[in-house]
């Protein structure tokens, strides 16, 4: 492959894949989408037509064998992440996998092991890391701005699923398919917390289902959760999140021996903080290098930032940058422990 040839990308999945990822792949100067797959042929055909993609499939492995892509992006429900990732890695294809990473720790360990023994770049789509306020806060913490972190809090409320008619019954409503808020957004949350606070030592989780019926079917997954985490450093974190109450609102705070930092909104565009010498907190200007160019869909911009790292690692023949499959495994360990804790009502050691 010459330096001028774009990486050939195959995308599995048409929802988040179609709305966020495919437009970014198509507009990136190093990638082009050559095929898309979906379990529903009409969705695969429609997504291909609307995005100028030359081929569409319902069979994932057939797509890999016929198109021979350089990159595959797996944007499917979690139940397919393991078999699709293993199929791609066995063919020497670079992999970008959505979160939650896997169905359980056993799958996640096998995925990481396969990636470790394959000369490819393999990353997990924790694109929230690249939101401006979060990215700048990460560097400030590394520089010692707030000292030793002692407490962190993550409070998020979404209103997308408040009523039974807001969303149809699908895999998201089924615990057996790892649907629910803990997997979808909790995976981002535990990734963020481990990034800043290090490895966890134990946790306590409570899951709740506020909306119990959709389309006349019983919802078995969670639409809210509370999570307490103790880290090996001695730091503590408290998380409360739902997507069935109110309107969208969020904050993520880190509180240390020298000061604090608070990301004030979901988009990560506002950062507040201060040190002990400052006393009152204040808005902190986020430098231009962390800013993201606005795009038609909010998550396209942070996904583009992640994709830039993914492509650079391929072009420069470097190891998989973080967030990689090691980060995916670490998040899966915490999610599995959280599900166990919710069933037993007890703290779970990690």
Q: Which CATH class is domain 128-293+331-349?
A: alpha beta
Q: Is pLDDT above 90 for 244?
A: yes
The pLDDT of 89-117, averaged and rounded, is: 98
H or E element at residue 31: strand 31-37
Q: Are 318 and 312 in contact (CB under 8 A)?
A: yes
Rounded Cα gap, residues 331 and 183, in angstroms: 10
Q: Has residue 225 got a pLDDT over 90?
A: yes
Q: Is 46 exposed, middle or buried (0-12, 13-18, 19+ CB in 10 A)?
A: middle
Percent of the chain surpassing pLDDT 70? 99
H or E element that contains 35: strand 31-37
Mean of the per-residue pLDDT values of the chain:
96
Model confidence over 315-343: pLDDT tens digits?
A: 999 999 999 999 999 999 999 999 999 99
Tokens of 213: 């019926």
* In contact, 121 and 314? CB cutoff 8 Å: yes
Closest to 101 (Cα-Cα) out of 117, 85, 119: 85
How far apart (Å, rounded) are the C-alpha atoms in residues 294 and 296?
7
Question: What is the band of 260 on the pLDDT scale with cuts at 50, 70, 90?
Answer: very high
Confidence of residue 136 (pLDDT cuts 50, 70, 90): very high
Class (C level, CATH) for 7-127+302-324: alpha beta
Q: What is the pLDDT of residue 305?
A: 98
> Model confidence at 3, in pLDDT bands (50, 70, 90)?
low
Predicted confidence (pLDDT) per residue in 12-38, tens digit: 999 999 999 999 999 999 999 999 999
The string of DSSP letters for 78-134 reads GGGHHHHHHHHHHTT-EEEE-SS--SSHHHHHHHHHHHHTSSS-EEE--GGGGSHHH
Strand partners, 271: 263, 284
Degrees to nearest 5, angle at CA 184 with 129 and 64: 85
pLDDT of residue 247: 81
Tell me the domain boundaries of the chain. Answer: 7-127+302-324, 128-293+331-349
pLDDT value for 72 = 98
Q: Over the Cα atoms of the chain, what is R_g? A: 20
Confidence check: pLDDT of 1 > 90: no
pLDDT interval class at 4 (50, 70, 90): confident
């Amino acid at each position: 492959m010459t330096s001028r040839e774009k990486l050939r990308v195959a995308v599995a999945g048409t929802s988040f894949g179609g709305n966020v990822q495919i437009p970014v792949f198509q507009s990136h100067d190093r990638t082009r989408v050559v095929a898309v797959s979906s379990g529903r042929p009409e969705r695969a055909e429609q997504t291909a037509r609307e995005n100028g993609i030359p081929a569409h499939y319902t069979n994932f492995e057939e797509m890999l064998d016929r198109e021979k892509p350089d990159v595959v992006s797996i944007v499917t429900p979690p139940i397919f992440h393991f078999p699709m990732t293993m199929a791609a890695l066995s063919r020497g294809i670079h992999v970008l996998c959505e979160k939650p990473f896997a169905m359980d720790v056993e799958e996640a360990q096998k995925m990481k092991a396969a990636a470790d023994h394959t000369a490819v770049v393999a990353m997990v789509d924790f694109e929230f890391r690249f939101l401006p306020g979060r990215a700048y806060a990460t560097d400030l913490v590394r520089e010692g701005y707030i000292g030793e972190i002692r407490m962190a809090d993550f409070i998020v409320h979404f209103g997308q699923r408040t009523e039974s008619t807001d969303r149809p019954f699908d895999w998201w409503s089924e615990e057996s398919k790892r649907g629910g808020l803990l997997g979808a957004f909790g995976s981002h949350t535990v990734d963020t917390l481990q990034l800043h606070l290090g490895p966890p030592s134990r946790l306590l989780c409570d899951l709740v289902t506020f909306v119990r019926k959709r389309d006349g079917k019983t919802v078995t997954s969670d639409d809210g959760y509370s999570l307490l985490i103790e880290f090996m450093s001695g730091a503590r974190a408290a998380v409360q999140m739902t997507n069935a109450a109110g309107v969208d609102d969020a904050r993520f705070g880190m509180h240390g021996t020298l000061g604090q930092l608070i990301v004030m909104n979901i988009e990560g565009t506002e950062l507040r903080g201060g040190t002990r010498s400052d006393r009152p907190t204040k808005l902190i200007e986020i430098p231009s290098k962390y800013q993201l160019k606005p795009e038609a869909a909010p998550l396209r911009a942070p996904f583009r930032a992640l994709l830039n790292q993914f492509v650079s690692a391929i072009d420069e023949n470097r190891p998989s940058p973080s967030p990689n499959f090691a980060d995916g495994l670490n998040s899966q360990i915490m999610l599995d422990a959280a599900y166990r804790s919710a069933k037993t009502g007890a703290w779970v050691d990690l």
